[in-house]
Amino acid sequence: MVTACGSGSTSSASGASTSVVASSTSGTAGAATSAPATGPPATATPAASTHGKRYCEVLLVRVVDGQGSADVYNSYPLNECPAELFTKLDPKAIASTEGVTLASLNGPRFWLMDRIEKPGGTAALPKKDFGGIEMYRQASLDIGPLADATKPYTAHEVDRATVFVFDAGATVYELSAPDGSTYVMQTWSQQKIPTLAEADLAGLGSRLQPPAGWTYRARTLDAPLRVVTTTTKAKVLQDELGNSYSQETPNN
């Protein structure tokens, strides 16, 4: 599973979070239609009450010389990805209509941060309708070799131009890598375990089997945690249950 979970403006070909599942470019149902973004000029407006919001994504994946990249379309903040529509999406039809190597469906997912700050806003972002679910192109994702795309605990770079904010007093769930870097869970997924709830996350360490040297913990913040990737690419990975994490950055 490759994840980006990027909510923010982007300039290149990939963007949010999702599992890359091979889908051929055949089929006709469930295609996407483009829609121009409308609304006032973009402003730097933070999203309110992001925590717990449901969303889903569609990744449009291109493969050149064995290397994959993706445009990531995300339903947040346009809608909460209605289940009756999402379950009807046909990735093969989407790939055929969009002229890409494959399309991947990602969701449902739930945000864990308290706010997502978008320096460029969303009004100018490209927008598409996938089977009645409107989505913004929120980020771009460097997948690399497709053979590595589904490996858990493997970081991928995501161009998403956002700040994820976890407020003081919030509980966060973190993976620590052998090199000393720390990844905070940004979204939890019901793709592998449909009944997984936020209340289960504190004890998730007993269910995960990361490589040697990795550790999982839950902790309560005594100060805000800001994951700032407005001028650099985010590093994002998933555990084997599909939950996604961003590498923490120095607060600024």
> Over pLDDT 70: what percentage of the chain?
79
- Report how far residue 12's alpha carbon sits from residue 211's, in angstroms, rounded to the nearest whole number: 32
pTM metric for this prediction: 0.80
Looking at residues 169-192, what average pLDDT do you find?
A: 96
DSSP secondary structure code for residue 15 in this structure: B
User: Mean pLDDT, the chain, as a whole number?
Assistant: 83
Nearest to 58, CA basis, from 171, 137, 126: 137
Q: Tell me: pLDDT of 79 over 50.
A: yes
Q: State phi, psi for 94 to the nearest 5 degrees.
A: -65, -45
Q: What does the pLDDT read at residue 32?
A: 53
Q: Give the helix/strand (H/E) hosting 139.
A: strand 133-145
| pLDDT (tens digit per residue) in 109-160 | 999 999 999 776 677 789 999 999 999 998 888 888 877 777 899 998 888 8
**C-beta neighbour count of 43 within 10 angstroms:** 11
Q: Give the helix/strand (H/E) hosting 102.
A: strand 102-111
Q: What does the pLDDT read at residue 121?
A: 66
Looking at residues 71-87, what average pLDDT do you find?
A: 95
